[in-house]
Amino acid sequence: MTVAERAQSQTWTIEAVLRWATEDFRARGLDKPLLDAQVLLAHALATSRTQLIIDAKKPLAPEELARFRDMVKRRRAHEPVAYVLGAREFYGRSFRVDKRVLVPRPDTETLVDVALARTEACSMSMRALDLCTGSGCVAITLAKQRATARVHATDMSPDALAVAAENAQRLGAYNLSLSCGDLFDAVPPGLPPFDVVTANPPYVATAEIASLSRDIQEHEPRLALDGGADGLSVVRRIVAGAPDVLAPGGVLAVEVGAGEAPAVARLFEERGFLHVTITRDYGRIERVVDGIRP
């Protein structure tokens, strides 16, 4: 029996509908059934998770129940919560996201932290290039954290760039420019060298994609996931090409998958980068490799 059918025979309170959705999500193998139910219901009611607890006995209006039912249907199919909501928080800002881009993750905030820390000396005049920008979360965050910087971002997916452009306009990242193309080929000619190049490239080995959660493998764009046979095909090209666009002393910082950091650090060293460093994310996984162009 669906929510709508059961609603005809009983009053659905916030407490009751949360319990039902949580049990439904748990039965379908979702990792965080209670959290998912709370987040979706709070969004459907335009309220907070705390307020759901306070108003636990409050009945839902038919239109509220209908909105929540539609969201439950999408989450049942393992569509990421961020896509259902149409937004995801990153570095304290809300980014619009949908199936055209990867869902921004807290792990990637480490990439921003590294880029900001390594460019303190040129913070007022920083020139940054963000490759594989997707939703634009890294590039826009750099642009907002450094209001006097000039940031350029590229992606080979026109659909992804459309999302990034929308986020940049909505968040007021007016010191950001975008271009479409394959890595460095997309950089407009004539731009001065960059002080920092960041990238969150595809880094999942092709054979491992089938082992990812259904949320990821069935809904997030494969173009942004598939890093080739060993996961490093795009990373190699980034490390090889970065010195040509970096200013002397400029920094390359790349996000990598779990267990890939030592191999990527060797790529940096082989390409001549100095002071190669590996930084762990909030989960203590080696997540970002960076180095300095001589």
What is the spatial distance between Cα 85 and Cα 101, in angstroms, rounded to a whole number?
14
Bridge partners of residue 279, in order along the sequence: 288
* Domain co-membership, 41 together with 111: no
In a domain, 86, yes or no: no
> Looking at residue 11, what is its pLDDT?
83
Q: Is the pLDDT of residue 7 over 80?
A: no
Spatial contact of 111 and 119, defined as CB atoms under 8 Å apart: no
* Domain co-membership, 182 together with 283: yes
* Domain co-membership, 130 together with 260: yes
Question: What are the respective helix, strand and coil percentages of the chain, to the nearest 5?
Answer: 45, 20, 35
Angle between helices 62-76 and 33-44 (to 10 degrees): 140
pTM: 0.92
* Domain co-membership, 142 together with 42: no
Average pLDDT over residues 63-79: 96
What is the spatial distance between Cα 10 and Cα 59, in angstroms, rounded to a whole number?
10
Angle at 167 between CA 161 and CA 168, to 5 degrees: 85
> Looking at residue 274, what is its pLDDT?
98
Tokens of 149: 């910087």
Confidence of residue 181 (pLDDT cuts 50, 70, 90): very high
Confidence of residue 53 (pLDDT cuts 50, 70, 90): very high
- For the chain, how many structural domains are there in total? 2
Mean pLDDT over the full length of the chain: 95
Q: How many CA atoms, within 13 angstroms, populate the side-chain half-sphere of residue 62?
A: 4
Q: 205-217 pLDDT, tens per residue?
A: 999 999 999 999 9
Confidence of residue 10 (pLDDT cuts 50, 70, 90): low
Query: Distance between the two ends of the chain, CA-based, in angstroms?
Result: 66
Domain residues for the domain of 22 are 3-77
Q: 122-171 pLDDT, tens per residue?
A: 999 999 999 999 999 999 999 999 999 999 999 999 999 999 999 999 99
Q: Which residues contact 149 (CB under 8 A, 6 or more apart)?
A: 123, 125, 126, 127, 128, 142, 143, 175
Confidence of residue 8 (pLDDT cuts 50, 70, 90): low
Q: Which residues contact 223 (CB under 8 A, 6 or more apart)?
A: 156, 157, 202
Spatial contact of 139 and 163, defined as CB atoms under 8 Å apart: no
* Domain co-membership, 110 together with 244: yes
Tokens of 104: 């921004």
Q: What percent of the chain has pLDDT over 90?
A: 96
> Looking at residue 6, what is its pLDDT?
52
In a domain, 84, yes or no: no
CA pseudo-torsion sign 89, 95, 99, 105: negative
Average pLDDT over residues 10-23: 93
Q: 54-64 pLDDT, tens per residue?
A: 999 999 999 99
> Looking at residue 9, what is its pLDDT?
52
In a domain, 165, yes or no: yes
Q: What is the CATH number of the domain that holds 55?
A: 1.10.8.10
Tokens of 116: 């900001």
Helices (H) and strands (E) in the chain, counts: 12, 9
Considering 46, 77, 108, which residue would you say is the last residue of a domain?
A: 77
Q: Is the pLDDT of residue 30 over 80?
A: yes
Q: Which residues contact 33 (CB under 8 A, 6 or more apart)?
A: 21, 22, 23, 24, 25, 26
In a domain, 87, yes or no: no
